[in-house]
Amino acid sequence: MTPIFPGSEDAAGQRATLGVMGGGQLGRMFVHAAQRLGYFTAVLEPDVQSPAGQVSHYHIQTDYNDPAGLAQLAHLCQAITTEFENVPAQALQTLALTRPVAPGAAVVGIAQNRIEEKAHFAACANLSGVTCAPYAVIETRAQLQAVQADRADLLPGILKTARMGYDGKGQVRVKTAVQLAAAWAELGGAACVLEKLLPLTAECSVLVARGWDGRVVSFAPQRNVHVDGILAVTHAYEGNMPPALATSARDAAVSIAQHLGYVGVLCVEFFVVDDGSAHGGLVVNEMAPRPHNSGHYTLDACDVSQFDLQVHAMAGLPLPQPRQHSPAIMLNLLGEVWFNANGQPQEPDWSTVLGLPGTHLHLYGKLQARAGRKMGHLTITGPDVASVKTVARRAAGLLGLPGLNET
């Protein structure tokens, strides 16, 4: 990979331009990071009002598989990335014929399919010492019947669709073999995995970035709180989890990235389970081949953000080891914040919230709020963990946000 330096021009006089497939908030923050360095940017996204398209130099408004749109993106850009894992892998393969694409279609394809993803985690277990929860694949009625007959150890469990499941979608909890059959029918007989329900004590995630040369850097693990399957709170500070557990999570995430030959920013999510030990054990849950909601705090609490590293990795620039300069708590802002208890529209009390010390508001430019929709996030930083927690509780109370009950 020949580095693509910001502000440079090619032989035809075209400015260095980085492209992104997808126009959501992750694409918007990628565009901001690239532009701050001096790159031009291009977004391929069908939605005319997409958050990333609003701020990019170029917005190609076509379907992700549209040949003309892909050709235009390849013509404009010197390198291309993706902002969500469900961009068609075939589209990335097409782009890779003429341009560097990071991450590549093969690894994005693994993240798109829970069956392949879990097989990869199992293959990495010997290297990292961390594997996924016990599971079984259900793609046919014969496999369903075999699980019902022989895998009672997986119940109670969670039946998850192999594709297109995120933020709690495509998942059904089941306790019995009868409920399992009903849930599979409810999901349309789609390819699924049945995952054993484990006694969780916490959830965490690790963000790593790997370059074309194999260099890997990472952020410290962050502890996450989910409500109804959607991330609500991220705790990012020293002592947010036991040191030995944090080291194991970080090592496992790096091992997974290396095993994939990954290029770009990768988030690996883990469960902390009650295994009878003093601090519990780690189980890898899933991975996201892109920056992640739980890493948004890096914009305000670190000298290099996850989006800066995404730009560096895809463009072949050196990867600096990020340093966190402030403890932080990130609060997700879903559409419910814009409605009162009676369901009537209301404007959040930004005047009071933004008067609190160390608050950093990021709204994504989405024009319509609705329940469960990620509209923005609020990061609180401060000189110490205690002060950050105090302000975060105050902000959460003002905005009616859940998930911040622990001390």
Q: Is 160 annotated as a binding residue?
A: yes
Q: Is 171 annotated as a binding residue?
A: yes
d(CA 266, CA 256): 9
Q: Is 65 annotated as a binding residue?
A: no
Q: Is 334 annotated as a binding residue?
A: no
**CB atoms < 10 A from the CB of 383, how many?**
11
Q: Is 39 annotated as a binding residue?
A: no
Q: Could you tell me where the DSSP H helices lie in 63-176?
A: 67-76, 89-96, 105-112, 114-128, 141-150
User: By CB neighbour count within 10 A (0-12 exposed, 13-18 middle, 19+ buried), where does 46 fall?
Assistant: middle
Q: Is 166 annotated as a binding residue?
A: yes
Query: What would you report as the CA-atom Rg of the chain, rounded to the nearest whole angstrom?
Result: 21
Residue corresponding to tokens 């007989």: 189
Which tokens go with 321? 């080891």
Cβ atoms 322, 307 nearer than 8 A: no
Q: Is 262 annotated as a binding residue?
A: no
d(CA 367, CA 369): 7
Q: Is 169 annotated as a binding residue?
A: yes
Report which residue type is found at 385. V
Q: Is 198 annotated as a binding residue?
A: yes
d(CA 55, CA 25): 11
Q: What are phi and psi of 349, to 5 degrees?
A: -80, 70
Q: Is 214 annotated as a binding residue?
A: no
Is the C-alpha dihedral spanning 143, 148, 152, 158 positive or negative? positive
3-class DSSP assignment, residue 266: strand
Contacts made by residues 357-363, CB under 8 angstroms, sequence distance 24+:
357/382, 357/387, 357/391, 358/326, 358/382, 358/387, 358/388, 358/391, 359/391, 359/395, 360/299, 360/300, 362/29, 362/296, 362/299, 363/333
Q: Is 196 annotated as a binding residue?
A: yes
Which tokens go with 7? 């502000």
Q: Which residues pair with 9 in a beta bridge?
A: 15
Q: Is 175 annotated as a binding residue?
A: no
Residue corresponding to tokens 């403890």: 327
> Kind of pairing, strands 79-82 and 17-21?
parallel
Which tokens go with 260? 């994939």
Binding residues for ATP: 114, 160, 165-171, 195-198, 203, 226, 285-286
Binding residues: 114, 160, 165-171, 195-198, 203, 226, 285-286
